[in-house]
Amino acid sequence: LAQLYGPLNMLGYLYRSINQSLVDTERLLSLLSEPTEINDRPNAPDLLVDHGEIEFDNVNFSYDGRSTALNGVSFKVPKGSSVALVGESGSGKSTILRLLYRFYDLKDGDGRILIDGQDIRDVTQSSLRKAIGVVPQDPVLFNASISYNIGYGKFGAQPEEIETAAKAAQMHDRITSFPDGYDTKVGERGVRLSGGEKQRVAIARTLLKNPPILLLDEATSALDTSTEKDIQKALQHLVEGRSSLSIAHRLSTIASADLILVLKDGQIVEQGTHSELLARDGVFAAMWADQVSGTEDTASSHKREAVAG
């Protein structure tokens, strides 16, 4: 039996790895029709992550060879900094995340995407994806215990580590309120978690995975104020010390981003910090004014104060 343990354990690990990437990619994939197959070059080396600095260097991309999804996009995410992508629907935000995750490879002459100076086309996909944590908008949970759902972020995660991650992700108290605590079954056939709770499970899982780079897709749906606060707190733990690229739908959540890139028709039309962009009185300031006048909830009154201030 002991001899079997090693291979079985390995199988379990492989299964988890496959599940992991399925779940990670699910949201990004859900927006794709037919992802093209990406092949590693023969003898491609693994990505060596030093600082986790990301660079898009004059990136052009089209899904169908006719219409342009990205046009001359250049930016850097310096080590440990947070960059937020904003822009109307179809402006290219998700495309940037998909390209970084290598659902598509750039064609020669269409620019480069680098991580710590390495062109991501030149390294193995598995090492690239290992270095990147994804928190999707609407994470899918397995029909398994909540502890499994968090724990497969890291092979062999111990119960204490799972609990620490759940605490940092502001999910521990909710979990202990379930009759079976961490053993509670979640998913379709178990306890149904709200969107905000599922996102916190995904945050806990990613904390365990501990990747140097993060891709975040903020939920579009409005969350109540306390859920919003919990998620923001959880995300603060997660982004701390990592290079992150996030898609922001609610502009109030990115006030503290190191850099905001404003996209329009596949191009970066403005960039700067929140206050710089408001002072500029351009596209971002107009989007902000729109969101502020759009709703009357607490979040928007904060926005109003911020605008006034």
> How far apart are CB 249 and ligand ATP at their closest, in Å?
7
Say whether residue 69 binds ligand ATP (CB under 6 A).
Answer: yes
Site string for ligand ATP, 79-98 (x = CB under 6 A): --------x-xxxxxxx---
Give the total of residues touching ligand ATP (CB under 6 A): 14
**Strand-pair partners of 154:** none
**Which of 33/43 has CB closer to ligand ATP?**
33
Alpha-carbon gap, residue 292 to 306, rounded angstroms = 10
Which lies closer to ligand ATP via its Cβ, residue 95 or residue 206? 95
Q: Mapping DSSP to helix (H, G, I), strand (E, B) and coil, where does residue 133 land?
A: strand
DSSP state letter for 120: G
Q: Which stretch binds ligand ATP (CB under 6 A): 9-17, 63-71, 185-193, 278-286?
A: 63-71
Q: Considering the complex, state which of residue 92 and residue 133 has its C-beta at the smaller distance from ligand ATP.
A: 92
Q: Does 246 bind ligand ATP (CB under 6 A)?
A: no
- Binding mask 93-132 toward ligand ATP (x if CB under 6 A, else -) reads xxx-------------------------------------
Alpha carbon distance 88, 191 (integer Å): 35
Quote the least distance from Cβ 2 to ligand ATP, whole Å: 49
Q: Which residues pair with 247 in a beta bridge?
A: 85, 217
- Give the residue with the Cβ less far from ligand ATP, 220 or 298: 220
Query: How many whole angstroms separate alpha carbon 142 and alpha carbon 149?
Result: 6
Query: Which string of b and e fits 101-122 if b means at least 16 CB within 10 Å?
Result: bbbbbbeeeebbbbbbebebbe
DSSP for 38-106? --PPTTPPPP--SS--EEEEEEEE-SSSSS-SEEEEEEEE-TT-EEEEEESTTSSHHHHHHHHTTSSPP
Burial grade of 1 (CB within 10 A; 0-12, 13-18, 19 or more)? exposed
What does the per-residue mask of binding to ligand ATP show for 251-280, with x meaning CB under 6 A?
Answer: ------------------------------
Of 16-55, binders to ligand ATP (CB under 6 A) are: 31-33
Contact residues for ligand ATP (CB under 6 A)?
31-33, 63-64, 69, 87, 89-95
